[in-house]
Amino acid sequence: MNRAAHLERIAEVLDGAAGGAKVPYPIGLREVTVRDARMVGAGLRRLTFTGPGLAGFESHAPTEHVRLIYPDPDGTLRLPEQVDLALKWPRPLPISREYTVRRYDPVAGELDIDFALHPGGHAAGWAAAATPGTSVYIAGPPGGLVVPFTYDRYLLAGDITALPAIARWLEELPATAAGWAFIEVVDATEEIDLVAPVGVEVRWLHRGSVAPGASDLLERAIRAVSIPEGERVYAWIAAEAGVVRPLRRWVREVLRAEPGDAEVTAYWKRGHADFDEDHEAVAD
């Protein structure tokens, strides 16, 4: 991959009619420092990172992620090696977790990441304790899911772990976009302000006392959607592994999505404190 190839590919996807596509970026390793830490609603802790290492950071799509790298239990920090435009990871792999790029401002030199707080998670615990001056290494983004703005409607759905991506999706959709956004949270305390096109219906789904990942609220909301005949819909769904399983079937059998017209992914799994669907895909 040459340094500009991904920009050419992004432009090609955005201008085409073939649907969304995952575009790889040059992968960098950067040390960043927490500038600010605050709660966004009752469920997300936002860390704003800064530092000279952010120079040249790549950010082009709402669902892209970076991988935060943490020391081993004995305090040893083992980092990947930068090799041209990729990273060579040590073995065994160091402790690392993926998080969505919520906002990147190249002028201010700031990167926002929103962490869903939950007990037992390595990254969630680290984020809860992080204060201004805390440093961490980040790798990536390794690429992004680029989706053209040529669909008749967009369907976005997820739980609080997907909320940062959905929030960015809504901000980046054109003002004329139409569709639906379904977000499952505990209650109104976890709702946040969202900037969405007028034509996109945003619906908060309160699961109350039901355990995370055990509710069928997302599935019921999605299955109740009435899609006008002949319209082309892009669907992006992310939540607990068991929750998204039947929704993959819905995308195939009901939405009848063509290749590139949908992305359904498991962001976490019940019973696994630090489940990482893509962890094994970290390349040498």
- What residues are paired with 154 via a beta bridge? 179, 234
> Which residue in 233, 251, 236 sits closest to 146, CA to CA?
236
The pLDDT of residue 1 is: 54
The pLDDT of residue 271 is: 72
The pLDDT of residue 61 is: 96
The pLDDT of residue 179 is: 98
The 3-state secondary structure of the chain, one letter per residue: CCCCHHHHHHHHHHHCCCCCEEEECCCCEEEEEEEEEEEECCCEEEEEEECHHHCCCCCCCCCCEEEEEECCCCCCCCCCEEECCEEECCCCCCEEEEEECCEEECCCCEEEEEEECCCCCHHHHHHHHCCCCCEEEEECCCEEEECCCCCCEEEEEEECCCHHHHHHHHHHCCCCCEEEEEEEECCHHHCCCCCCCCEEEEEEEECCCCCCCCCCHHHHHHHCCCCCCCCCEEEEEEEEHHHHHHHHHHHHHCCCCCCCCEEEEEEEECCECCCCCCHHHCCC
The pLDDT of residue 274 is: 57
The pLDDT of residue 174 is: 96
Each residue's pLDDT tens digit in the chain (284 positions)? Answer: 566 899 999 999 999 888 999 999 999 999 999 999 999 999 999 999 999 999 999 999 999 999 999 999 999 999 999 999 899 999 999 999 999 999 999 999 999 999 999 877 889 999 999 999 999 999 999 999 999 999 999 999 999 999 999 999 999 999 999 999 999 999 999 999 999 999 999 999 999 999 999 999 999 999 999 999 999 999 999 999 999 999 999 999 999 999 899 999 999 998 765 555 554 333 32
The pLDDT of residue 207 is: 97
User: What order of strands is seen across the sheet that includes strand 44-50?
Assistant: 95-100, 65-70, 135-139, 29-40, 44-50, 110-116, 103-105
The pLDDT of residue 48 is: 98
Q: Which two tokens stand for residue 241?
A: 């592994």
The model scores a pTM over 0.85: yes
The pLDDT of residue 3 is: 67
